[in-house]
Structure 1
Amino acid sequence: MSQDTNWQQQAWQQPATPPSQPPVYYYGAPQPQPPKKSRGWIVGLAVVLCLFGLIALSMWSCTSVVSSSFDSITPGSTSVDLGSLSSDAIAVIDIDGTIQYDGTTASPEGLKAQLDRAEKSFYVKAVVLRINSGGGTATAGEEMAAYVREFSENSGKPVVVSSASINASAAYEISSQADYIFTAKTTAIGSIGTAMQVTDLSGLMEKLGISVENITSSDSKDSSYGTRALTEEERAYYQKMVDQINETFIQTVAEGRDMSVEDVRKLATGLTFTGMEAVENGLADEIGTKEDAVAKAAELAGTSTTKTVDLRPSTSNLSELLNLMSSSRVSVDDVTKALKELDNDGSLAR
């Protein structure tokens, strides 16, 4: 791993989340097979032909499903496509989990895609970011904060943040660019700070009798490999980088919250505040729920609507259909039922 590549893993106050364990698959006990019938292959062939016929007849519906975005109105309403809106609505975008490059709305590309959709929609009058994240990769947070700021400036549509249990580090950097921030009293919010982690495994490897020799083009090229301790010069170099990156974090928050750099720097302890403290020190505006955030967004947009539409990355129900067909226990009736549901409302029952 190069020094540059390792630096991409540094995060606002939160080390990268370790990879999750792979799923464990269990195979069921073998099922007794019925005696073979002399003409069973004919029945099987007929079933296969009927199945492919059903798929062909509904292909237009599957194609429509793949290309649509499957936006959904809040509970109590029916699912609709964003393009079918005929009255004002507030778009809600969930930013949940580690801020990183994974294509979800907790990533730059995922968030921007949904903000672009909100900007293009005439009936979307404002955006609520529902945030529940402890931070993540610094660069991803920087880009997402810029996208929120650009959306608000270019579209003229207000952005309001609704903080869930945690809104910290890179997630808070993103939030700071909104027009208004709601938090719960017990939300852990803030944590303005930058961290980089370098692990030294040389002592353990020595005890295990493992010898690693790094052949590098420069003395510090292997500084982040974990096979030796950092030199004092390297430690000072990395500290300077962390301080420089953290300064951009502080300036971004200061600009977004209309605070002085010095005031934000005093709050940049790397620790979170309760929602109550955040309202007092200026990192948040008001204690409130998601519904309060929606109402505020409508107020800032000059509309009386409280209707919301959830914006999320597109999902392909055709893939779900194929997964269903690949199941060893699926029947022709199951596939027929799924195709009918797909044709009726674009969703598959589970």
Structure 2
Amino acid sequence: MQQDPSWSSQAWGSGGENVSPPAPQPAPQPAPQAAPQPTTGQPAASQPQHQPAQAAQQPAQHYGAPASCPPQPVFAAPQPACAPAPQPAKKRGWIVALVAVVLAFLLIGGAMASCASVFSTAGSLAAVSSSGVYGDTIAVIDIDGTIQYDGSACSPEGLKTLLDQASDDPDIKGLVLRVNSGGGTATAGEEMAEYVKDFDKPVVVSSASMNASAAYEISSQADFIYTAKTTAIGSIGTALEVTDLSGLLEKLGISIDVIASADSKDSSYGYRPLSEEEQAYYQNMVDAINGTFIANVAEGRGMAEDEVRKLATGLTFTGMEAVENGLADDIGTREDAIAKAAELAGISDYDVYDMGESSYDLSGLLGLLSSEQSQDNHPLNAKEWDLHANTLS
């Protein structure tokens, strides 16, 4: 018997008769795989394999799915309903920025709390140390330059500020003045000498290359003076400068008429020579100023005024001569002066604190500016101001 070509296999019953294959069943929906069919008692191996229904080749319809959802392939594994197109992820930068800001505020707050603690501690220590030094200390002040009114350590204002700071600091037990100056304005030297004399702690002077005139007047108020062997020290004396330009003006054909309230008002202008009376007047002024200088040195050095007057030649002495004539105490260095200050203060273990240096060039420039400003402020007696300023010690 010719077999039907549409059959790829035969199924036989128990009696040998030809049993027609069961009709194909439609695939249940919406299960992704065909449900098992009930058996007819034959072995499972003899059951025909069911092919998917032709209707499954049509695209599946999904109600409610987006129109852009693509059709499913015929024999593909079942797919879930098409999800909406993914949306771009929301930016999280603002979250990072917010976290950074919060952290910054926390750090600033912590720093402020720490600073407050430091300031509180510093405030409690202010009564202990106003100079930033702790423990027994010897302070050093450099007087390096012309004695004048320039605000530096070479001026009354500058030196007074440093001396007050050293006096108020309980940790500073003694002071060294490192002097390198040829002198300057007599009045400035007088004021500075008074400030050193009134200082309430031991003061030792360390003389550098020069310690003369007004600078020596200041040094004479210290408790002890060291000098190098080759230091130019002393020069006790006073000078007043009056320039006579009348001869030069005559040669140049320049005539200057001065209208003054008194005959001697223009005596220091330099337009004419001094009269004998004016010369005598200015000499008396210089002698009086020099008398103050001599008295200060005598008091500071513990000498008689007559003894100091003999040394007031206006000339300097070498360091070795100054030790012999009593203007200095010993030959020594800056370190010797520091050790001596510690000895006078009664301390053996100490630190050294430099309270600042004055610049010679800067002080000179400031002095010139100060001079010009003062003349501008006093135009009617500018020459008289020059005369007073140039009264040197």
Query: Which residue identity lines up with residue 208 of structure 2 in the other structure?
Result: A
The answer to whether the aligner puts 1:258 opposite 2:302 as a matched pair is: yes
Q: Distance in 1 between matches of 2:131 and 2:315?
A: 42
Contact 1:90 1:308 in 2 (8 A): yes
Please name the residue that 1:104 is paired with: 152
Contact 2:137 2:350 in 1 (8 A): yes
- Residue 296 of structure 2 aligns to a residue whose secondary structure is helix
1:313 CA displacement: 7.7
Please name the residue that 2:61 is paired with: none
Tell me which of 109, 120, 123 is aligned to 2:171: 123
Where does structure 1 lack aligned partners over 5 or more consecutive residues?
1-56, 61-80, 315-350
Query: Which residue identity lines up with residue 162 of structure 1 in the other structure?
Result: S
1:207-246 paired onto structure 2 within 5 Å: 207-246=251-290
1:210 CA displacement: 0.8
Query: Which residue identity lines up with residue 248 of structure 1 in the other structure?
Result: T
Contact 2:174 2:341 in 1 (8 A): yes
Where does structure 2 lack aligned partners over 5 or more consecutive residues?
1-107, 113-128, 359-393
Q: Answer with 1 or 2: which has the greater Rg.
A: 2
- Residue 161 of structure 1 aligns to a residue whose secondary structure is strand
Distance 1:173 1:83, change over 3 A: closer
Tell me which of 314, 325, 336 is aligned to 1:270: 314
- Residue 84 of structure 1 aligns to a residue whose secondary structure is coil
Query: Which residue identity lines up with residue 173 of structure 2 in the other structure?
Result: K
Please name the residue that 1:196 is paired with: 240
Aligned pairs, how many? 232
Contact 2:141 2:357 in 1 (8 A): no
- Residue 166 of structure 1 aligns to a residue whose secondary structure is strand
Query: Which residue identity lines up with residue 104 of structure 1 in the other structure?
Result: S
Q: Distance in 2 between matches of 1:208 and 1:221?
A: 24
Tell me which of 166, 181, 185 is aligned to 1:133: 181
Q: Distance in 2 between matches of 1:85 and 1:243?
A: 45
Percent identical across equivalent pairs? 72
Q: Distance in 1 between matches of 2:142 and 2:336?
A: 16
Deviations 1:133-152 (A, max 9, x none): 0000000000000000011x
The answer to whether the aligner puts 1:91 opposite 2:139 as a matched pair is: yes
Q: Distance in 2 between matches of 1:98 and 1:239?
A: 24
1:82 CA displacement: 5.5
Normalised by the size of structure 2, how large is the TM-score?
0.58
1:307 CA displacement: 2.0
- Residue 162 of structure 1 aligns to a residue whose secondary structure is strand
1:158-169 paired onto structure 2 within 5 Å: 158-169=202-213
Please name the residue that 2:223 is paired with: 179
1:84 CA displacement: 3.0
Q: Distance in 2 between matches of 1:221 and 1:145?
A: 31
Query: Which residue identity lines up with residue 249 of structure 1 in the other structure?
Result: F
Deviations 1:200-253 (A, max 9, x none): 001001111111110000000000000000000000000000001101100100
Query: Which residue identity lines up with residue 222 of structure 1 in the other structure?
Result: D
